[in-house]
Structure 1
Amino acid sequence: MGARELGLPAKTPAEGFPDRVTIWEVGPRDGLQNEKEIVPVEVKLEFLDRLADAGLTTLEATSFVHPKWVPQLADAEQLLEGLKQRDGVRYPVLVPNERGLDRAFAAGVKHIAIFASATETFAQRNLNSTLDTQFGMFEPVVSRATEGDIEVRGYLSMCFGDPWEGPVPASQVVAAGKRLLDMGCSQLSLGDTIGVATAGQVEAVLGGFTAAGVPMSALAVHFHDTYGQALANTLVALRCGVSTVDSSAGGLGGCPYAESATGNLATEDLVWTLDGLGIEHGADLDKLVETSAWMAGKLGRPSASRVVNALAR
């Protein structure tokens, strides 16, 4: 019997999980930013349209990072101009600084994200800043954005391990994350940028935020799958009360500033697990599989998602 004939996973609800999970799809931005060959803007636009058609309601569309650093996303304005936005779907854009915010205002963007570091070395290498002074760069971005009725999400990278510094203390992550929330970010996404997090670490970091008075509703998780732990770590986060999960269609992704980082948690693998637990999410697995199989063809390589490979045969 083939994989498709097996149908969807048997729904067996388990206690301790949220009733509904918001999937924050990062494939069009984080998933494609590290591709060596430039993906045509027409393909990116169709990718976004297919993902929206599959029921995903948050699609991180692109980035206003300088093209010198992320040439794959140099077509941000062109993409946003050609984007067929749908009612009920958010299209956040990553903004690195005030110059990026100016571009966001000009493009009529309503949701942005900023990208901070939980470690000193990554702040220096990625932001040309320090762990402490990076926040001075973000404060005017957040204040101007919120004054302009733009919602701001905060990404915090290297929350579990740093390739130069090793394991990152939970207290350091909590301190940095609270500064982003306190300056006005509506949500904080905790990134396992190089994919080294373990289940116990995830519980410890989330427990640190709870002890600091931060509700789980203010947090999201963003796991890379370098060691095959992204889904396991996500389940721990859900058990802790997190209900927003970042994922990438087909497991696309990486990080141009961290060579050891592999793809993100695959959206299809996440959806299969959520379906098995009876957790609502609003996505259509068949359409997601079709979309990721289509994108894999455009990129000229197999999808990294185990679910896509099982169901697209």
Structure 2
Amino acid sequence: MRATLIEVAPRDGFQPIGPFIPTDDKVSFVEAAHAAGLRRIEIGSFVNPAAVPQLRDTAEVLRRTAHLEGLDAQVLVPNARGVALALEAGAQHLAYVVSASEAHNRSNVRRDVATSIRDYGEIVAGLPAGLRLRLNLATSFDCPFDGRMEEDLVLSRLDALLAHREDVEVGLCDTTGRADPDHVFSLAAKCLARFGARTRWVFHGHDTYGLGLANVAAAWRAGITGFDAAFGGLGGCPFAPGATGNVATEDVAWMFRRMGVETGVDLDALLRLATRAAALPGASPGGRVRAALADRCAAA
């Protein structure tokens, strides 16, 4: 058994931090994550720098980490302009985001869901051959404005999105961290049953209410094998009031090790990286394994 851990701290973890993290440091964090065995890393986003100033150097981080062997560097893009900038920078793996919730979609990307789905279809049709594509469905479980999302609505959003292209990776995102394991298992199982093997699935969880690991385990039980996580438990959505950090990569790696599931991650190296990230000025770290294994977290 093997689970794929997708490191999202350099994007989702860094974006809410106020003090600018120097580009050299961002590159160093990506290099350290790669050295710890993480190969899927979301290194940044091509969004309006006025909205997310922390990630205004994504193109430079992408360029300076391109030498890392086997690195699959994905970047978040919210619209056609972001896609154009990402392609200009040489990105080979895009993560496009649409919200299941109308209110969150308007808050996040300033348009209604139907327009985002139409835009996504036009973007998909124009992508270069061989480009890898990830589709993130934000607020798959809960919206900070509308509350719990009905599964039938989420499935209908996916019907419309996957009509444009089925052979993509879909991230079911617990944007607020208010999902519970029963809900995660139920929606994940329905998605896998409804859309078949051509679509690949990832669970993206936050630990706002302490259910991040339980939700990861529920998604695994339902058949999902890919998981977003952030070293140090960093993160939080600027457009989802109250949402705190992503589930910590070191916590997920430790749990899967205890379950006998391979991840390819060097836990000691990851703990050192997480400890360094947790000390970033302006960061709000999370997770539990760093404290439990404090004697193994000393910086090298």
TM-score computed with the length of structure 2 as normaliser? 0.93
- Counterpart residue type for residue 10 of structure 2: P
Q: For residue 130 of structure 1, what is the aligned residue in structure 2? A: 112
Q: Distance in 1 between matches of 2:157 and 2:27?
A: 35
Residues 274, 211 of structure 1: alpha-carbon distance in 2 compared, 3 angstrom cutoff: closer
1:161 and 2:137 matched:
no
Percent of pairs with identical residues: 35
Q: Distance in 2 between matches of 1:273 and 1:217?
A: 26
Offset at residue 255 of structure 1 (A)? 0.3
Offset at residue 175 of structure 1 (A)? 1.6
1:183 and 2:164 matched:
yes
- Counterpart residue type for residue 25 of structure 1: E
Q: Which moved more, 1:77-86 or 1:219-228?
A: 77-86
Offset at residue 208 of structure 1 (A)? 2.5
Offset at residue 174 of structure 1 (A)? 1.4
Residues 216, 310 of structure 1: alpha-carbon distance in 2 compared, 3 angstrom cutoff: farther
Residues 182, 88 of structure 1: alpha-carbon distance in 2 compared, 3 angstrom cutoff: farther
- Counterpart residue type for residue 244 of structure 2: T
Alignment counterpart, residue 280 of structure 2, candidates 282, 291, 298: 298
Offset at residue 310 of structure 1 (A)? 2.2
1:288-311 Cα offsets, whole Å, 9 max, x none, are 000111222333667422111222
1:274 and 2:265 matched:
no
SS at match of 1:36: coil
Q: Which has the higher contact order (CA 8 A, sep 6+)?
A: 1
Q: For residue 3 of structure 1, what is the aligned residue in structure 2? A: none
- Counterpart residue type for residue 101 of structure 1: V
Residues 236, 85 of structure 1: alpha-carbon distance in 2 compared, 3 angstrom cutoff: same
SS at match of 1:177: helix
Q: For residue 196 of structure 1, what is the aligned residue in structure 2? A: 178
Q: Which moved more, 1:119-128 or 1:175-184?
A: 175-184
Whether contact under 8 Å (2:139, 2:175) holds in the other structure is yes
RMSD: 1.7
Q: For residue 298 of structure 2, what is the aligned residue in structure 1? A: none
Q: Which runs of 5+ in 2 are unaligned?
A: 296-300
Q: Which runs of 5+ in 1 are unaligned?
A: 1-18
Whether contact under 8 Å (1:217, 1:242) holds in the other structure is no
Offset at residue 131 of structure 1 (A)? 2.1
1:179-205 Cα offsets, whole Å, 9 max, x none, are 333322610000110011011111221
Q: Distance in 2 between matches of 1:139 and 1:301?
A: 36
Q: For residue 190 of structure 2, what is the aligned residue in structure 1? A: 208
Whether contact under 8 Å (1:180, 1:188) holds in the other structure is no
Residues 84, 123 of structure 1: alpha-carbon distance in 2 compared, 3 angstrom cutoff: closer
Q: Distance in 2 between matches of 1:111 and 1:312?
A: 35
Q: Distance in 2 between matches of 1:25 and 1:216?
A: 23
Q: For residue 32 of structure 1, what is the aligned residue in structure 2? A: 14
Q: Which moved more, 1:293-302 or 1:246-255?
A: 293-302
Q: Distance in 1 between matches of 2:242 and 2:209?
A: 11
Whether contact under 8 Å (1:64, 1:93) holds in the other structure is yes
SS at match of 2:41: coil
Q: For residue 54 of structure 2, what is the aligned residue in structure 1? A: 72
SS at match of 1:103: helix
Q: Distance in 1 between matches of 2:273 and 2:198?
A: 31
1:100-135 Cα offsets, whole Å, 9 max, x none, are 112112111110100100011111221221122211
- Counterpart residue type for residue 139 of structure 2: M
Offset at residue 81 of structure 1 (A)? 2.4
Whether contact under 8 Å (2:17, 2:282) holds in the other structure is no
Alignment counterpart, residue 256 of structure 1, candidates 207, 219, 238: 238
Offset at residue 70 of structure 1 (A)? 0.6
1:56-111 Cα offsets, whole Å, 9 max, x none, are 01000110011011111011122222225322220001112222112112111110
Whether contact under 8 Å (2:205, 2:216) holds in the other structure is yes
Aligned length: 294
Whether contact under 8 Å (1:27, 1:249) holds in the other structure is yes
- Counterpart residue type for residue 242 of structure 1: I
Q: For residue 6 of structure 1, what is the aligned residue in structure 2? A: none
Q: Which moved more, 1:196-205 or 1:302-311?
A: 302-311
Q: Which moved more, 1:299-308 or 1:288-297?
A: 299-308
TM-score computed with the length of structure 1 as normaliser? 0.89
Offset at residue 235 of structure 1 (A)? 0.6
Alignment counterpart, residue 287 of structure 1, candidates 262, 265, 269: 269
